[in-house]
Amino acid sequence: MSSRRSRPPPGRSLRDKLTLLFFGVTAAAFGVLYFLVVPELEQNLRDQKFEELARVAEGTQARFDRLTRDPDITAPQLDGSVTGISNAVDARITLLGIQKALGRGPDDFYPISDSREERDVPLNKPLAREAVREGDLAFGGVRFRGEQLGQVAQPLIFEGQPSRVVLYSRPFEDVTDTVTFVRSRMLIGGAIALLLALVGGAVVAQTLARRVRRLEVAAEDVAAGHYVEPLVDSSEDELGELTRAFNGMQEQLRRVDIARREFVATASHELRTPIFSLGGFVELLRDEDLDEAERLDFLDEIAQQVERLKKLAVDLLDLSRLDSGSLALDIDTVDLAEVAALVAGEFKPAMAEHNTDLQLQLPADGVAARCDRERVVQIVRILLDNALRHTPPGTTVRVGAGSDSAGAAITIADEGPGLPDDKPVFDRFVTGGESQGAGLGLAIARELAGRMGGSLRANSNGEGAAFTLELPEARR
């Protein structure tokens, strides 16, 4: 069993990193809200208050202009008018007089009337000077009797010169209270959010880390040569995809391992007979009493066994590559009639020696299919070799090609004894009659046909056998 790696130090594991990431993102979001959004909220509330005071000042300017132009108004009448306007607009109003400074000093201001009729008034001389200097509304604030006031100063013009300044005041404590309330709630909510982020992040991170750790342990077991049951992970995220890819990789490795073992077992089984046979003939050839005819017979037998070994080696290699899934295919448009004619030409000498008539029934315009040309050539060779070995001398082997609704096809038919009823001819190591083959050719042919999206069928009517290779038809 492979050794397990020790647990990473605190702060370096995937779980700890993801937990800290969740916590950090939540803390950053809270910081943005607390230090940027809340001050902006406070400023917006103050701006709304000042806009309301500005509208009040603009709405009452005409009345204060009339009071300023009235030379006969008495102090009690002025106080009453100021108080009435203040009650109407819900703002404290202080009417200031302007005392012109001698020389270059700043003007001074003194209260003429106040809506509260108090000696102590929220006098804001810098704001009043700004309003006089600009000739327009000025906005500001002052702390008066422990209370924060927002103020708007409005200059009154008489005979082209500023004569008085109206100071409108409203408490801004509700703004402060609102912002304080929001800050406190945000602090509470932020603390809860950080706690939830810490706990939730730890749970999510632990789940992800457990899934990663499971993959790590499984990979270590596979690396040590152990088979691991497929990991179950139905998630559609990247880890789920990785788990499915891991299962596919392990299945591929398992197939390669099985193919390797089967290859070794098959090779040892199938090679034993010809190798022992070769050894026996070699021993016989050492006998000095052999005549020339016997020696030539033994050499012919040795040549046949060598040829059998060569074919067996190629078949075993192809079978191993098919089992491991490492066989590469080059799919293209192929003319099956041309391939059938080409391979049939290779077999004409052998057919003639066997006294077998080879008939071609191929369309002149060809038969187009989507397949790997070299693999189709290999399959046709296997089928023709199989027909030649099982067909009695003096019979006929027919090679045809065509297409129908099922696709493009090549058919090779012989007049031999037909197919055995008790043997699955496409299984490995199944041989018919007294055949000297290893029984791998048809198994390889069917596997190659399936890999190209086609099939290989066998039919027998008692007077011979017909093998049909069907492949996807190419669109013209």
- Which pTM value belongs to this model? 0.42
Give the SS3 label for residue 453. coil
* CA-to-CA dists, residue 414 to 44, 78, 386, 401, angstroms: 97, 131, 10, 15
Which among 74, 54, 209 is positioned nearest to 140, based on CA atoms?
Answer: 54
Under 8 Å between Cβ of 122 and 169: yes
Domain containing residue 396: CATH number: 3.30.565.10
Specify whether the CB–CB gap between 141 and 148 falls below 8 A. yes
Confidence of residue 3 (pLDDT cuts 50, 70, 90): very low
169: which 2 tokens? 């005041």
The three-state secondary structure class of 262 is helix
Question: Do the domain assignments include residue 232?
Answer: no
Domain assignment present for 233 = no
Q: Are residues 243 and 388 in the same domain?
A: no
Domain assignment of residue 88, yes or no: yes
Same domain flag for 279 and 185: no
* Alpha carbon distance 182, 176 (integer Å): 10
CA distances 397 to 147, 347, 374, 471, Å, are: 115, 11, 22, 22
Please tell me the predicted confidence (pLDDT) of residue 424.
65
Cβ-contact 115, 92 below 8 angstroms: yes
The residues facing 401 across adjacent strands are 410
Contact between 163 and 68 under an 8 Å Cβ cutoff? The reply is yes
Which segment, 187-201, 270-284, 333-347, is predicted with the most confidence on average?
A: 333-347
Answer yes or no: is 230 within a domain: no
Domain membership of residue 273 (yes or no) is yes
Which domain range does residue 387 map to? 328-471
DSSP 145: T
pLDDT digits (tens, 9 = 90+) for 104-149: 667 788 899 898 877 788 888 899 989 988 889 999 988 888 888 8
| Confidence at residue 116, expressed as pLDDT on a 0 to 100 scale | 85
Q: Given strand 357-361, what is the order of strands in its sheet?
A: 357-361, 396-404, 407-413, 465-471, 455-460
Average pLDDT over residues 267-271: 65
Q: Which residues of 6-40 are buried (b: 16+ CB within 10 A; e: fewer)?
A: eeeeeeebbbbebbeebbeebeeebeebeeeeeee
Question: Has residue 1 been placed in a domain?
Answer: no
Say if residue 264 is in the same domain as residue 141. no
How far, in whole angstroms, is CA 282 from its chain's centroid? 64
pLDDT for res 206: 78
Kindly state whether residues 162 and 55 are assigned to the same domain.
yes
Q: In this structure, what DSSP letter does residue 236 have?
A: -
- Token match 């046709």: residue? 380
- Specify if 365 maps to a domain: yes
Instruction: Work out the average pLDDT over 188-214.
Output: 78
Cβ-based neighbour number of residue 69 at 10 Å = 12
CA 204 to CA 19: how far, in whole Å?
8
Whether residues 209 and 260 share a domain: the answer is no
Say if residue 257 is in the same domain as residue 219: no
Are 50 and 149 in a shared domain?
yes
Whether 184 and 281 map to the same domain: the answer is no
Residue 1 pLDDT level (bands cut at 50, 70, 90): very low
Handedness of CA 30, 31, 34, 37 (dihedral sign): negative
Average of per-residue pLDDT across 343-363: 89
Establish if 2 belongs to a structural domain: no
User: Residue 114 half-sphere exposure, CB side, CA atoms within 13 Å?
Assistant: 11
CA-nearest of 201, 270, 190, 219 to 28 is 190
Q: Are residues 294 and 191 in the same domain?
A: no
Work out how many domains the chain is built from and give that number.
3
Residues 57 and 174 in one domain: yes
CA dihedral sign of residues 389, 392, 394, 395 = negative
Which CATH number does the domain housing residue 83 bear? 3.30.450.20
As a whole number, mean pLDDT of residues 221-233 equals 77
Q: Which of 166, 191, 224 is the last residue of a domain?
A: 224
Are 165 and 98 in contact by the 8 Å Cβ rule? The answer is yes
Final residue of a structural domain among 321, 349, 368? 321
Report the share of the chain in percent with pLDDT over 90: 17
Whether residue 347 is found in the same domain as residue 280: no
CATH no. for residue 254?
Answer: 1.10.287.130
- pLDDT tens-digit map of 11-50: 556 667 777 777 777 788 778 777 777 788 888 888 888 8
Among the candidates 300, 321, 342, a domain finishes at: 321
| CB-side neighbour CA atoms (13 Å) of 205 | 19
Q: Is the pLDDT of residue 433 over 60?
A: no
Q: Are residues 45 and 74 in the same domain?
A: yes
